[in-house]
Amino acid sequence: MPKSTHYKGLIDRYRDRLPVDSATPIVSLTEGDTPLIKLVNLPSLIGKSVEMYVKFDGQNPTGSFKDRGMTMAVSKAAEKGAKAIVCASTGNTSAAAAAYAARAGMTAFVLIPEGKIPMGKLAQAIAHGAVVLQIRGNFDDGMRLVKEVAEQAPVEIVNSINPFRLQGQKTAAFEIVEALGRAPDYHCIPVGNAGNISGYWIGYSEACGKNTASCTLCNGDCPYLDNPLTTSRPVMVGYQAAGAAPFLRGAPVEAPETVATAIRIGNPQSWDLAQAAVDESEGWFDEVTDEEILTTHSLLASREGIFCEPASAVSVCGAMRDLKNGKIPEGSLVTCTVTGHGLKDTAIAIERAEPVKTVDAELGSVKEAILSHIS
Ligand code: F0G
């Protein structure tokens, strides 16, 4: 009989490196184990020799990296006997919360900024049966309200201020180290609420047996450092959209605005943890404009076959610029997290494209249309 190789999700895979035990009811959609895709065309566009990979976390069950954190947050909520969870979201957290709550038999309450999340993400929350509350405000207002309401109603917060979220998200770093056989030299990542960069840094740190101030769970006494996977950590580089770049301004941004709606956030909750990740790794934050984001979004799709949402293109966009200007040296091994799938936000891809051509349903017209593109 062949040995079963059925992958059962990241808690099963990394049980010995996660705060779960036999009493934790695991709520999983078989998340994690996402592809690390080598870029074959983009590096040559900037004329640099570099080994560059995309960790395509848009290939998680609900189409974003949030599933990594949500399997942990909802499993731990179930362990406590919670019946309901709540989050504020720019769309992906609400989609993931809705799906995992559905599976766990819980109610998900999701607060989203009215008119500012793509239809794909709204459809997910609705389809999975979440109670969707559109607020006349932005993500930061939603986050404040979630914290207030959780004091007065029996609901478990599943935003990344819940430390179990970052524990799940750290597993992406383990997967990268295992896939490459070492840590990358640079890890580039979009930054919104600043949870994911913090989660990655916890993961990379634990993978090489080091503690980090980004981990708040075990107060500096991490039980998972005994079995390192590698010997080094990458430099962490966090990129923000220019209209929503509090780390670059050095203060919260009052009215954040960007085409990358997923990171339209002015007051990141994991500010200190993300700052610690960048400081400890001797990395940096930088910003990219909406135009640069959309250019990379379209290059990833049209030159690499990787269709992501705009916020996800931010990592590759920043990395390409920093490679071009030499801040990331040629010859480096670079990984970029691509956080969410392009099918979440099809409107933006179609808006920017040439109108789709319509032809008569006969051979002459079809042949003419094809030949006009081949010459
Ligand atoms: N990329 C995507 C596609 C996201 O959805 C988010 C965050 C980020 C990047 C930034 O990650 O917040 O950990 O720094 N989305 C949250 C949401 C805020 O509600 O879906 P972060």
Q: From the alpha carbon of 191, which atom of ligand 1 is closest?
A: 14
d(CA 38, CA 29) in angstroms, rounded, equals 26
Q: From the alpha carbon of 58, which atom of ligand 1 is closest?
A: 3
> Residue 349 C-alpha to ligand 1 middle, in angstroms?
19
> Residue 227 C-alpha to ligand 1 middle, in angstroms?
30
d(CA 72, CA 164) in angstroms, rounded, equals 6
Which residues, judged by CB distance below 6 Å to any ligand atom, belong to the binding site of ligand 1?
A: 64, 66, 89-93, 160, 190-196, 262-263, 309, 311-312, 339-340
Question: pLDDT value at position 253?
Answer: 98
pLDDT at 227 over 90: no
Going by alpha carbons, the residue nearest to atom 4 of ligand 1 is 262
> Residue 92 C-alpha to ligand 1 middle, in angstroms?
7
Give pLDDT tens digits for 46-76. Answer: 998 999 999 999 999 999 999 999 999 999 9
pLDDT at 366 over 80: yes
Question: pLDDT value at position 301?
Answer: 98
Give pLDDT tens digits for 265-294. Answer: 999 999 999 999 999 999 999 999 999 999
Question: pLDDT value at position 223?
Answer: 84
Question: pLDDT value at position 218?
Answer: 82
pLDDT at 220 over 80: no
> Residue 140 C-alpha to ligand 1 middle, in angstroms?
13
Q: From the alpha carbon of 89, which atom of ligand 1 is closest?
A: 19
**Structure-token pair, residue 265:** 């956030």
Q: Which of 349, 346, 336 is nearest to 35 (CA)?
A: 336
Question: Which of 68, 166, 196, 258 maximizes ligand 1 atoms within 8 Å of its Cβ, making it the mutation to test the pocket?
Answer: 196
> How many residues in total does the chain contain?
375
* Position with higher pLDDT, 217 vs 183: 183
Residue 234 in contact with residue 335, Cβ under 8 Å? yes
Q: Where does the pLDDT of residue 333 fall: very low under 50, low under 70, confident under 90, or very high at 90 and above?
A: very high
Q: From the alpha carbon of 93, which atom of ligand 1 is closest?
A: 20
> Residue 264 C-alpha to ligand 1 middle, in angstroms?
9
For residue 109, give every residue at least 6 positions away whose Cβ sits within 8 Å of its Cβ, in sequence order, or none.
84, 85, 86, 87, 130, 131, 133, 155
Give pLDDT tens digits for 81-135. Answer: 999 999 999 999 999 999 999 999 999 999 999 999 999 999 999 999 999 999 9
Question: pLDDT value at position 72?
Answer: 98
Question: Which of 157, 189, 339 maximizes ligand 1 atoms within 8 Å of its Cβ, making it the mutation to test the pocket?
Answer: 339
Lowest mean pLDDT among 132-141, 220-229, 273-282, 360-369: 220-229
> Residue 258 C-alpha to ligand 1 middle, in angstroms?
13
Q: Which of 269, 144, 359 is nearest to 373 (CA)?
A: 359
Q: From the alpha carbon of 238, which atom of ligand 1 is closest?
A: 14
pLDDT at 322 over 80: yes
Query: What's the mean pLDDT in 314-321?
Result: 98
pLDDT at 375 over 80: no
> Residue 262 C-alpha to ligand 1 middle, in angstroms?
5
pLDDT at 1 over 90: no
Q: Where does the pLDDT of residue 321 fall: very low under 50, low under 70, confident under 90, or very high at 90 and above?
A: very high
Question: pLDDT value at position 224?
Answer: 87
Going by alpha carbons, the residue nearest to atom 12 of ligand 1 is 193
285 to 239, 253, 361: CA distances (angstroms): 6, 15, 52
d(CA 219, CA 265) in angstroms, rounded, equals 28
Single pTM value for the model: 0.97
Give pLDDT tens digits for 133-173. Answer: 999 999 999 999 999 999 999 999 999 999 999 999 999 99
DSSP 257: -
Q: From the alpha carbon of 87, which atom of ligand 1 is closest?
A: 19
Going by alpha carbons, the residue nearest to atom 3 of ligand 1 is 340
Query: What's the mean pLDDT in 8-28?
Result: 97
Q: What is the 3-state secondary structure (H, E, C) of 33-52?
A: CCCEEECCCHHHHCCCCCEE
* Position with higher pLDDT, 213 vs 103: 103
Question: pLDDT value at position 217?
Answer: 86
d(CA 149, CA 164) in angstroms, rounded, equals 20
Cα dihedral 324/283/163/316 (nearest 10): 0
> Residue 232 C-alpha to ligand 1 middle, in angstroms?
26
Nearest-5° angle of CA 128, CA 129, CA 135?
Answer: 110
Going by alpha carbons, the residue nearest to atom 15 of ligand 1 is 262
* Position with higher pLDDT, 85 vs 211: 85
Lowest mean pLDDT among 193-202, 218-227, 245-254, 273-282: 218-227
DSSP 298: H
> Residue 64 C-alpha to ligand 1 middle, in angstroms?
9
